[in-house]
């Protein structure tokens, strides 16, 4: 994951809060392990939706969750920066 996308995910996580982004989710110690988990999930024929790996601002590990479009990540980051939390 490139640095800008990584930062956007961290900002979105801080805005969303620990419970939604970290909470009871499985923690993967590397991006590679999270990518493998997301890929396996996305191959599963009974899934409700695809997922993606993302870095966690709270536990400094990686999790797998709903795909966040770039435009949404950018909007969240812009709001985060405007509140003076950047």
Q: How far apart are CA 1 and CA 5, in angstroms?
A: 7
Query: For residues 28 and 58, is the Cβ–Cβ distance under 8 A?
Result: no
Return the domain boundaries, the chain.
3-82
Express each pLDDT in 32-63 by its tens digit: 999 999 999 999 999 889 999 999 999 999 99
Q: pTM here?
A: 0.87
Element (H, E) at 53: strand 51-55
pLDDT band per the 50, 70, 90 thresholds, residue 9: very high
What pLDDT, on the 0 to 100 scale, is given for residue 18? 96
């Amino acid at each position: 994951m490139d640095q800008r996308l990584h930062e956007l995910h961290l900002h979105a996580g801080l805005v969303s809060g620990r419970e939604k982004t970290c909470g009871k989710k499985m923690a993967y110690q590397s991006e590679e392990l999270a990518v493998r988990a997301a890929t396996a999930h996305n191959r599963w024929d009974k899934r409700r939706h695809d997922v993606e790996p993302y870095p966690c601002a709270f536990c400094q590990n990686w999790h797998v969750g709903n795909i966040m479009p770039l435009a949404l990540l950018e909007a969240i980051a812009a709001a985060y920066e405007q509140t003076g939390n950047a």
